[in-house]
Amino acid sequence: MSNIENKKVAVVTGASGGIGKATVEHLIQKGYIVYGISRNPKVIPELHTIAADVCDAQAIAQAMAQIYREQGCIDVLISNAGYGISGAVEQTEDTAAHQQLEVNFFGFFHCVKAVLPYLRAQKYGSIVAVSSVAGALAIPFQAFYSASKAAINSLVLSLANEVRPYGIRVSAVMPGDVRTGFTDARQKAEGGAVYGERLERSVASMEKDERSGMRPEYVAKRICRVAERKHPRPFYTVGPKYRVFTFLAKILPAKVYNYIVGLLYAK
């Protein structure tokens, strides 16, 4: 089946700001029918909005069913919803760690599980997860954010093999630092007397890099390009210097590149 207008249909989570909003706008410019799923949807011209939390598996399933019912197909899912926390592992509250994984990783899982029956039935489709360079390079004092993105990367690899016979493509896009509201929304834990000074320096350095980072529109264009590839790679790193970092992570011993990351973010 296909929609009446014979346009491609894209679903973007976390569509209300930052990379998600830029991706929505770019897809609309390219002629897609676009649905944005957010907890607090924003009005964007030509965007179909659905209010849902990616942590609510039932709400996400209902959203995907609604989209398929209205359009008769889903061509692309871009799973972008997420946020970050910072703090030392030792001092991170259990609830904060669980919530980080719940939104970033299980939110992606809920979207994948809800959309796959439709993609399998139509025998085509593209799933793109917005991961992070932090998924390939574990960042000190952002351990649970890094863990959530590394988990996404692992799920992408497994899923790509599982659904390949059904014509479904799966990839993760790993941006480096991007100028968005993500920085101000980060939930920060205090380091106290043990980690305080190093934690503050680390987070300050990260936030400085983020505020001077790539524009979300730049990342959005690359996400859309990956979504349209017929034979995509599992991972795409966005940003020239970040591609160098991820390349070094592949060729250097883990002890060496992890030591380098420590010099950058845990001095």
Residue 72 DSSP symbol: S
Residues whose CB falls within 8 Å of the CB of residue 164, separated by 6 or more in sequence, listed in order = none
Q: Of the listed 38, 79, 86, 131, which one is catalytic?
A: 131
Question: Which one from 8, 32, 38, 149 is the annotated catalytic residue?
Answer: 149
Among residues 35, 68, 145, 242, the one annotated as catalytic is 145
Note if 16 is an active site residue: yes
Nearest to 108 by CA among 25, 40, 14, 180: 14
Residue 154 bears catalytic tag: no
Label residue 18 left, alpha or beta by phi (over 0 means left) and psi (-120 to 50 means alpha).
left
Separation between Cα atoms, residue 201 and residue 205, nearest integer Å: 6
Tokens 């799933």 locate to 127
131 is catalytic: yes
Residues 262/198, Cβ–Cβ less than 8 Å: no
Distances (CA, A) of 127 to 9, 13, 172, 205: 12, 12, 8, 32
Of residues 8, 16, 38, 126, which has the active-site annotation?
Answer: 16
Q: Is 149 a catalytic residue?
A: yes
Catalytic residues: 16, 131, 145, 149
